[in-house]
């Protein structure tokens, strides 16, 4: 047990954006234990004001270089809700397939490149190549497949260009869908290999639990393990569902001194969103392969070990692959229709009406809300967005407060690593904006 | 309305997908087009990709702030040309050609994060996987402003033809 301890992780690595961990222990007493988010606000809500409804999803896709499809879809759903625009069943299905591509892309990235080095005791994926070349090659293969899948449907691997209010500008051909389906069938063994590797090192996943409220989307009609449709649910409301329009009442965002990002709470001091939240709310609706994967790891509904979020992401990878293979079959059986929205909008009434609307989509790291108001010309007059990582910040802090006293007998390095791993397990996406090269020439 | 026009990806961009054949050379424009000069790499890539420029052996890709996606974009190409806004202690608007061996990153984050990762580390990973292009060339452009804005500053925009001419020599 330490009497005095100072841990200052200034900018934790292998997460998106900048977050700091601060621990001060004096005479055996914890004086300071904080999860800091020091990033500057990015003002996207102000940036979209005055822009036409057709531009919104393109602008907000720049919020993130990982979940750009999710942001575009949440924005588009909100725009469609505000303006009363309809979307065909086919476009709806293809949008979900696009979202799945991003989920797989992001999950593999997190499990493979960002979290796996922790389990292997490596500082990053680069030195891991020398130690486990086949594992890294398998991870890269799966990640590449997901990237090409996103490219095929969204027009680019990141920052999609095919989504427009009312539908999609284009969709892949039947032949391309069949190729995608075959590629996904082909990567099932790679996914199983990744699962087996993670299982072989699962003993390194810390055993820590804290009873937690988990919030996610829930779709009851038809019952689906949803990433796109449905309303808001929580493990504290026993399967009830709140309409997405009520998200302000469920997220209850507030401001704290230690963070430039807002925090959120619902029934308790904090709640968690993400793969483990989706699993805890909807696990019985997973595909058979995903259920098998969960069983492999002993992951069951009600799990409240935040480190297991990474495993829940892996389980979701199987669900996504298996479900997509089925969805493509259904799509092609019905036959693809030429309904590209080149004008951008299917607006039966022919006129735009002023309105306000909200949209929610499950980002890889949890439920995401967008809300917009438009004037009668279709120009944005107000915007509000609530990203999943904001909803997790308070929960990370609460986890820290329970975890630290439990591991104080460990070495400072181990304590630091466990706190860092905890943050990484949430797969936080703190922000992304400037990414210019910063170089010095070798003399 | 350039934002909406971007909703129709060019043929060159689409061909990179799926089973289609990758071209020997790839030009990657990096940056955030909502932060004025930060997006200069993307603006230049867009100009280079216009059909009249005619580079049949080249794929042009707007990679935005894509991180590890770069690994896949450069994989198994003969040559990769990466254009980005770069802080090089030079006059705003300066363009400079360099190779990965000629620079070291000054980023303090030594390990991967999703967006902050060092391009040089991606190249290192690509080499270790045995799929790195034989030739990688960077074109860095010193920014004048990184403030919000959908266009580069006049200083950089005014030199666009110089940038195009300089980079075109690399694609012959």
Other CB atoms closer than 10 Å to residue A401's CB: what's the count? 14
Q: Using a CB-CB distance cutoff of 8 angstroms, which residues of chain A are in contact with residue B5?
A: none
Phi then psi for residue A198, to 5 deg, are -65, -40
User: Which of B107, B113, B137, B141 to substitute to test the interface with A, most A CBs within 10 Å?
Assistant: B113
> What per-residue confidence (pLDDT) applies to A430?
61
The verdict on a CB contact (< 8 Å) between B125 and A143 is no
Mean pLDDT by 10 residues, chain A (443 residues): 74 64 86 80 86 92 86 97 93 97 93 79 75 86 93 89 92 96 95 90 91 98 97 95 97 87 93 98 98 97 97 97 98 90 51 90 96 94 92 95 93 89 84 43 52
For residue B69, give the nearest of A62, A123, A147 by CB distance: A147
Residue A246 to residues A6, A233, A277: CA-CA distances in angstroms? 42, 11, 19
The verdict on a CB contact (< 8 Å) between B7 and A162 is yes
How many angstroms separate the most distant Cα atoms in chain A? 71
Structure tokens at A370: 């967008």
Rounded to an integer, what is the distance from CA B91 to the centroid of its chain? Answer: 20
* Residue A90 DSSP SS3: helix
Q: How far is A165 from chain B (nearest CA, A)?
A: 11
β-pair type (A380-386, A366-374): antiparallel
Phi then psi for residue B158, to 5 deg, are -70, -15
CB–CB of A412/A2 below 8 Å?
A: yes
The verdict on a CB contact (< 8 Å) between A124 and B112 is yes
Q: Among A140, A71, A29, which Cα is nearest to A383's? A: A71
Structure tokens at A275: 């793969």
User: Chain A: residue nearest B4 by CA?
Assistant: A55
Q: How far is B169 from chain A (nearest CA, A)?
A: 22
**What is the ipTM metric for this complex?**
0.71
> What per-residue confidence (pLDDT) applies to B157?
96
Average pLDDT over residues B154-166: 96
Convert the pLDDT of each residue in B97-148 to its tens digit.
999 888 766 544 334 433 445 788 888 889 989 999 999 999 999 999 988 8
Q: What is the 3-state secondary structure (H, E, C) of B49-73?
A: HCHHHCCCCEEEEEEECCCCHHHHH
Q: What is the number of CB-based contacts under 8 A between chain A and chain B?
A: 185
The verdict on a CB contact (< 8 Å) between B119 and A437 is yes
CB–CB of B155/B144 below 8 Å?
A: yes
User: Chain B: residue nearest A67 by CA?
Assistant: B66
The verdict on a CB contact (< 8 Å) between B87 and A429 is no
For residue A129, give the nearest of B102, B106, B129 by CB distance: B129
> What per-residue confidence (pLDDT) applies to B117?
53
User: Chain A: residue nearest B11 by CA?
Assistant: A155
User: Which of A58, A147, A437 to substitute to test the interface with B, most B CBs within 10 Å?
Assistant: A437
Give A361 or B1, the one with higher predicted confidence: A361
The verdict on a CB contact (< 8 Å) between B98 and A441 is yes
Q: At what angle do helices A309-334 and A174-200 cross, to 10 degrees?
A: 160
Q: Using a CB-CB distance cutoff of 8 angstroms, which residues of chain B are in contact with residue A429?
A: 114
Residue entry with tokens 């997908």: B17
> What per-residue confidence (pLDDT) applies to A348?
46
Q: Using a CB-CB distance cutoff of 8 angstroms, which residues of chain A are in contact with residue B98?
A: 439, 441
> What per-residue confidence (pLDDT) applies to A63?
83
> What per-residue confidence (pLDDT) applies to A374?
96
Q: Which residues pair with A229 in a beta bridge?
A: none
The verdict on a CB contact (< 8 Å) between A436 and B107 is no
User: Chain A: residue nearest B7 by CA?
Assistant: A161
User: Which of B112, B121, B122, B149 to substitute to test the interface with A, most A CBs within 10 Å?
Assistant: B112
The verdict on a CB contact (< 8 Å) between A436 and B38 is yes
Give A235 or B53, the one with higher predicted confidence: A235
User: Which of A156, A160, A165, A176 to substitute to test the interface with B, most B CBs within 10 Å?
Assistant: A156
User: Which of B2, B6, B7, B107 to substitute to test the interface with A, most A CBs within 10 Å?
Assistant: B7
User: Chain B: residue nearest A343 by CA?
Assistant: B4
pLDDT classification of B53: cutoffs 50, 70, 90: low
Alpha-helix residue ranges (DSSP H) falling in B54-132: 69-74, 119-128
Q: How far is B31 from chain A (nearest CA, A)?
A: 6
End-to-end CA distance of chain A: 48
> What per-residue confidence (pLDDT) applies to B126?
92
> What per-residue confidence (pLDDT) applies to A433?
30
Cα A172 to Cα A95: distance, rounded to the nearest angstrom: 12
User: Chain A: residue nearest B140 by CA?
Assistant: A437
Other CB atoms closer than 10 Å to residue A48's CB: what's the count? 24
The verdict on a CB contact (< 8 Å) between B112 and A13 is yes
State pTM to two decimals: 0.86
Q: Among A13, A157, A136, which Cα is nearest to B116's? A: A13
């Amino acid at each position: 047990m330490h009497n005095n301890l100072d841990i200052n992780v200034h900018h934790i690595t292998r997460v998106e954006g900048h977050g700091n961990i601060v621990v001060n222990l004096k005479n055996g007493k914890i004086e300071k234990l904080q999860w800091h988010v020091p990033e500057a606000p990015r003002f996207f809500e102000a940036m979209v004001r005055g822009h036409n409804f057709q531009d919104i999803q393109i602008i907000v896709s720049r919020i993130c270089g990982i979940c750009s499809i999710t942001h575009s879809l949440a924005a588009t759903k909100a725009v469609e809700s505000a303006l009363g625009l309809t979307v065909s069943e086919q476009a709806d299905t293809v949008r979900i397939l696009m979202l799945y591509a991003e989920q797989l892309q992001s999950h593999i990235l997190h499990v493979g490149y960002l979290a796996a080095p922790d389990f292997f005791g490596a500082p990053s994926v680069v030195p891991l190549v020398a130690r486990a070349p086949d594992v890294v090659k398998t991870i890269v293969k799966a990640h590449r497949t997901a990237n090409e899948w996103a490219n095929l449907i969204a027009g680019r691997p990141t920052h999609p260009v095919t989504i427009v209010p009312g539908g999609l500008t284009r969709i892949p051909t039947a032949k391309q869908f069949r190729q995608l389906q075959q590629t996904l069938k082909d990567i099932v063994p790679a996914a199983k290999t990744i699962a087996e590797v993670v299982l072989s090192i699962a003993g390194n996943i810390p055993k820590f639990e804290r009873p937690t409220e988990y919030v996610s989307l829930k779709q009851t009609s038809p019952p689906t393990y949803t990433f796109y449709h449905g309303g808001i649910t929580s493990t504290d409301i026993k399967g009830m569902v709140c309409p997405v329009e009520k998200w302000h009442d469920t997220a209850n965002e507030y401001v704290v001194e230690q963070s430039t990002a807002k925090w959120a709470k619902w029934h308790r001091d904090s709640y968690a969103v993400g793969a483990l939240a989706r699993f805890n709310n909807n696990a019985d609706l997973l595909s058979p392969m995903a259920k098998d994967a969960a069983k492999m790891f002993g992951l069951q509904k009600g799990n409240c070990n935040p480190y297991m979020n990474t495993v829940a992401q892996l389980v979701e990878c199987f669900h996504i692959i298996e479900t997509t293979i089925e969805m493509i079959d259904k799509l092609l059986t019905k036959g693809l229709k030429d309904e590209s929205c080149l004008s951008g909008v299917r607006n039966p009434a022919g006129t735009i009406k002023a309105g306000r609307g909200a949209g929610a989509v499950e980002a890889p790291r949890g439920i995401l809300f967008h809300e917009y108001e438009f004037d009668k010309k279709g120009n944005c007059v107000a915007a509000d967005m609530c990203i999943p990582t904001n909803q997790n910040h308070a929960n990370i802090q609460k986890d820290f407060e329970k975890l630290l006293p439990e591991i104080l007998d460990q070495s400072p390095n181990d304590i630091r690593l466990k706190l860092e791993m905890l943050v990484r397990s949430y797969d936080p996406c703190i922000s992304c904006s400037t990414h210019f090269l910063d170089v010095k020439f070798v003399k | 309305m350039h934002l909406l026009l971007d909703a129709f990806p060019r043929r060159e961009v689409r061909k990179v997908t799926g089973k289609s054949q990758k071209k020997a050379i790839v030009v990657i424009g990096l940056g955030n087009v909502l932060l004025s000069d930060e997006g200069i790499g993307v603006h230049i890539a867009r100009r280079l990709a216009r059909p009249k420029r005619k580079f049949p052996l080249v794929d042009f890709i707007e990679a935005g702030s894509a991180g590890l996606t770069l690994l896949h974009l450069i994989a198994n190409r003969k040559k990769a040309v990466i254009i980005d806004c770069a802080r090089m202690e030079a006059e705003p608007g300066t363009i400079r050609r360099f190779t990965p061996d000629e620079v070291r990153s000054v980023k303090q984050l030594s390990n991967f994060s999703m967006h902050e990762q060092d391009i040089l580390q991606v190249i290192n990973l690509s080499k270790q996987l045995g799929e790195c292009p034989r030739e990688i060339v960077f074109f860095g452009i010193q920014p004048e402003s990184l403030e919000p804005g959908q266009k580069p500053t006049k200083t950089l925009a005014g030199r666009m033809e110089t940038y195009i001419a300089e980079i075109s020599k690399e694609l012959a």
